[in-house]
Amino acid sequence: MAPGLTARTALLLMLPPLLWAGNAILGRMSVGSISPLLLNALRWALAFAILLPLGHRILRADGPLWRRAGYFLLLGLLGVGSYNAFQYLALQTSTPINVTLITSSLPVWTLCVGAFWYGEKPHRMQILGALVSLAGVLLVLSRGDWKSLANVQLVTGDLFVLVAIISWSFYSWMLARPREPSIRSWPWAEFLLAQVMFGALWASLAAFGEWSAGLAHVEWSGWIVALLIYVAIGPSLIAYRCWGVGVERAGPAVASFFNNLTPVFAAILSSAVLGEPPRWFHGVAFVLIVGGIALSSRR
């Protein structure tokens, strides 16, 4: 492993894909019970309320946040507001296999953003790692039968996924390369609260647009309440905290490879819900994706 990718950092970066896998499964199961943009707005409003007691000091009128409001407005839009909204929108029409297939191109987009906007040209091991990691994702999607990939058909929702992952690529680089490095020294709860606050604002505006169009709806039940609690704590607060630390330590390019563990975790979780044991290709895919991570972290 590279100096920036220690075993502890790797574990930090493995937790978000696991939590996001659960988010994808529950998001698909929620279709029809709650509209996607309202779900996203409620998710981040609840996350903001949970985080507020820990990071409220950053909201002081004389605090450093307001001098950097532009940075956090954009960070909140890319990483909180638009990324999750587009994912939930995609799950309304796209299939899980399409969503996962397009999301697996995240390392490629992250390398491109780094090269064109931050002057970080990818080295050969990163490109090789991306190919090996992608092979692992394709193995999961094909369930061990490569011919089945020929039957994949793209739909409108797939465009939302593409926009989402490009947005996430910029978000990751902005985390790692803030214009003012002093932001990194902020207490973690205050830094995350600043993102969530502006992200919740963008999400609320999108939900208002959904409501204005007569598309917002929710069927309240214990299931919906449990869903909101999970997505507000797990895939939001815990995952974003771990991702931020991992990106700072390993860099956006290497961190992006961990995202490809999401389909493996999603397949295993789905198998557990359906009472099916993991198949051989899950293990092989995991080895390929981890191998891609190892290759990308070496020069």
**Digit-coded pLDDT (tens) for 226-261:** 999 999 999 999 999 999 999 988 888 888 888 878
Among 75, 283, 298, which residue's Cα sits nearest to residue 179? 75
- Please tell me the distance from the alpha carbon of residue 293 to that of residue 299, in angstroms, as a whole number: 12
Residues 11-45: tens digit of each pLDDT = 999 999 899 888 878 877 888 899 999 999 999 99
The confidence score (pLDDT) of residue 1 equals: 44
The confidence score (pLDDT) of residue 146 equals: 64
User: Which two structure tokens, joined as six digits, stand for 182?
Assistant: 């002093």
The answer for residues whose C-beta is within 8 angstroms of residue 161's C-beta and 6 or more apart is 86, 87, 90, 94, 98, 99, 102, 103
What is each CA distance from 44 to 13, 137, 196, in whole angstroms?
21, 29, 7
Average pLDDT of span 283-289: 74
User: Which two structure tokens, joined as six digits, stand for 166?
Assistant: 């490009």
Q: How many other C-beta atoms can be found within 10 angstroms of the C-beta atom of residue 210?
A: 20
Q: How much is the pTM? A: 0.84
Beta bridge pairs of residue 218? 34
The confidence score (pLDDT) of residue 100 equals: 65
Q: How confident is the model at residue 197 (pLDDT cuts 50, 70, 90)?
A: very high
The answer for residues whose C-beta is within 8 angstroms of residue 157's C-beta and 6 or more apart is 89, 90, 91, 92, 93, 94, 98, 99
Q: How confident is the model at residue 54 (pLDDT cuts 50, 70, 90)?
A: very high
User: Which two structure tokens, joined as six digits, stand for 201?
Assistant: 């604002």
- Please tell me the distance from the alpha carbon of residue 252 to that of residue 255, in angstroms, as a whole number: 5
pLDDT at 98 over 70: no
The confidence score (pLDDT) of residue 20 equals: 87
Q: How confident is the model at residue 199 (pLDDT cuts 50, 70, 90)?
A: very high
User: Which two structure tokens, joined as six digits, stand for 38?
Assistant: 């309202």
What is each CA distance from 92 to 85, 95, 114, 133, 260, in whole angstroms?
11, 8, 31, 27, 22
